[in-house]
Amino acid sequence: MSLLQGFETMRLVRIGPSLRERVERQIAEWHHRVVVARLRHFRQQLERDMEPELWITLEAPMVLLLSDVCEALSLNEEERATILGQLGKQALAEILETGSVTRPKVPVNDRQAKALAHMRKHGAITLSAYRVICPYWSDETLRLDLANLVARGLLVKNGAKRGTHYTPVE
């Protein structure tokens, strides 16, 4: 039997992953790093956009959303830490420990403080009265301020549309 005939009858043994498998693995690793970097960038953008307030004070806690995304992507602890940041890790630990979302107390802004002072003096406040107190702000900003005070439990909304007025919580 010649040497060539011996090669024809031999079976090749696979020693390692094929070139295609290695390229697919590298692409998957690169894609994974890109996703982690984009999520970290998303959190950093939230921090910048929310200043001076903390990004973890949003009504639908973004820390839970980012944590769920990390879980769905099966990210390791180091990757989760880079995405959530120190503040996010602390907030998530508190949520998991207590089982509920507690938002840090954010002080009322200057406009809201003026509205509360007016309400204490007169017993109620309307958007038009608030507009007189803060003439350089848009109606929408002032309305959102009042809605925020209602959400915080500092005011009660009474009436609807033009008849809306806000009173202290009883």
19-23, 96-100, 162-166 — which is least confidently predicted? 96-100
Query: How far is it, in rounded angstroms, from Cα 164 to Cα 141?
Result: 16
**pTM for this prediction:** 0.45
pLDDT digits (tens, 9 = 90+) for 31-73: 888 988 888 888 888 777 777 667 666 655 677 888 888 888 8
| Res. 10: pLDDT tops 80 | no
- 154: tokens are 């500092």
Extract long-range pairs of 56-61: CB within 8 Å, 24+ residues apart. Answer: 56/87, 56/88, 56/91, 56/103, 56/104, 57/103, 57/104, 57/106, 61/91, 61/95, 61/101
Domain 110-168 has CATH 1.10.10.10: yes
pLDDT digits (tens, 9 = 90+) for 101-136: 655 566 888 899 899 899 889 999 999 999 999 999
State how far the Cα of 126 lies from the Cα of 65, in Å rounded to an integer: 36
CB atoms within 10 A of CB 103: 13
Q: How many CA atoms lie within 13 A of 70 on its CB side?
A: 26
Distance (Å, whole) CA 104 – CA 91: 10
Domain boundaries, the chain: 19-98, 110-168
Report the run of H or E that residue 128 belongs to, with start and end: helix 127-133
